[in-house]
Amino acid sequence: MTMPRRSFVSGCVSFLAAALLSLPAALALAAPQPWDEKAFQSAQAAGKPVLIDVYASW
Protein backbone atom coordinates (compact mmCIF):
# COMPACT_ATOMS: atom_id res chain seq x y z
CA MET A 1 0.00 0.00 0.00
CA THR A 2 1.40 3.40 -0.92
CA MET A 3 0.94 6.71 0.84
CA PRO A 4 -1.46 9.09 -0.91
CA ARG A 5 0.38 11.89 -2.69
CA ARG A 6 -1.43 14.67 -0.81
CA SER A 7 -0.51 13.15 2.55
CA PHE A 8 3.13 12.79 1.50
CA VAL A 9 3.37 16.40 0.30
CA SER A 10 1.64 17.64 3.45
CA GLY A 11 4.12 15.71 5.59
CA CYS A 12 7.08 17.14 3.67
CA VAL A 13 5.76 20.70 4.00
CA SER A 14 5.21 20.21 7.74
CA PHE A 15 8.72 18.84 8.19
CA LEU A 16 10.31 21.72 6.26
CA ALA A 17 8.28 24.30 8.18
CA ALA A 18 9.36 22.81 11.52
CA ALA A 19 12.99 22.70 10.39
CA LEU A 20 12.94 26.33 9.24
CA LEU A 21 11.24 27.52 12.42
CA SER A 22 13.81 25.77 14.62
CA LEU A 23 16.81 27.04 12.63
CA PRO A 24 17.20 30.38 14.50
CA ALA A 25 17.26 28.56 17.85
CA ALA A 26 19.91 26.14 16.61
CA LEU A 27 22.04 28.98 15.28
CA ALA A 28 21.77 30.87 18.57
CA LEU A 29 23.10 27.83 20.44
CA ALA A 30 26.10 27.67 18.10
CA ALA A 31 27.22 31.27 18.58
CA PRO A 32 30.98 31.78 18.19
CA GLN A 33 32.96 31.82 21.43
CA PRO A 34 36.56 32.78 22.14
CA TRP A 35 39.03 29.95 22.70
CA ASP A 36 38.82 28.37 26.14
CA GLU A 37 40.92 25.27 26.84
CA LYS A 38 38.65 24.09 29.67
CA ALA A 39 35.51 24.43 27.52
CA PHE A 40 37.24 22.53 24.71
CA GLN A 41 38.25 19.67 27.00
CA SER A 42 34.77 19.60 28.53
CA ALA A 43 33.10 19.37 25.12
CA GLN A 44 35.50 16.62 24.07
CA ALA A 45 34.84 14.64 27.25
CA ALA A 46 31.08 14.99 26.74
CA GLY A 47 31.35 13.80 23.13
CA LYS A 48 30.01 17.09 21.78
CA PRO A 49 31.07 18.30 18.34
CA VAL A 50 33.78 20.97 18.29
CA LEU A 51 34.42 23.36 15.42
CA ILE A 52 37.57 25.46 15.47
CA ASP A 53 37.59 28.35 13.02
CA VAL A 54 41.08 29.71 12.34
CA TYR A 55 41.81 32.86 10.35
CA ALA A 56 45.14 34.28 9.24
CA SER A 57 45.34 37.57 7.39
CA TRP A 58 48.54 36.63 5.57
> Phi/psi of residue 44, each to 5°?
-60, -45
Rounded to two decimals, the pTM is 0.43
Task: Answer whether 52's CB lies under 8 Å from 58's CB.
Answer: no
pLDDT at 45: 96
Per-residue confidence of the chain (58 residues) as pLDDT tens digits? Answer: 566 777 888 888 888 877 767 666 666 566 778 899 999 999 899 998 888 888 899 9
